[in-house]
Amino acid sequence: MACVRWRGGCAQLLATVWADGHPRQLLLTNVSGCSAPAALCEAIAARFPTLTVDGAAVDRA
């Protein structure tokens, strides 16, 4: 599950992963602007194949 956290003028796309029984936030990418282009979502999917990112939900957040 990915979430968006705003830091200043840009957003960070984060995912929570579990390692050794403890949650850890993983920074997927920084998103500048108000939307995540399809190419950005494809790049995240290629870099992190075990995570699922809903681009439409990211745009709404």
> pLDDT, tens digit, for every residue of 10-27?
888 888 888 899 999 888
Q: Could you tell me if 41 and 19 are in contact, meaning their C-beta atoms sit under 8 angstroms apart? A: no
Report the pLDDT value the prediction gives residue 39, as an integer from 0 to 100.
79
Low-confidence ranges of the chain (pLDDT < 70): 1, 33-36, 61
Q: Could you tell me if 11 and 34 are in contact, meaning their C-beta atoms sit under 8 angstroms apart? A: no
Q: Any long-range contacts for 41-44 (C-beta under 8 Å, 24+ apart)?
A: 44/13
Q: To the nearest 10°, report the CA torsion of 14, 17, 56, 43.
A: 80
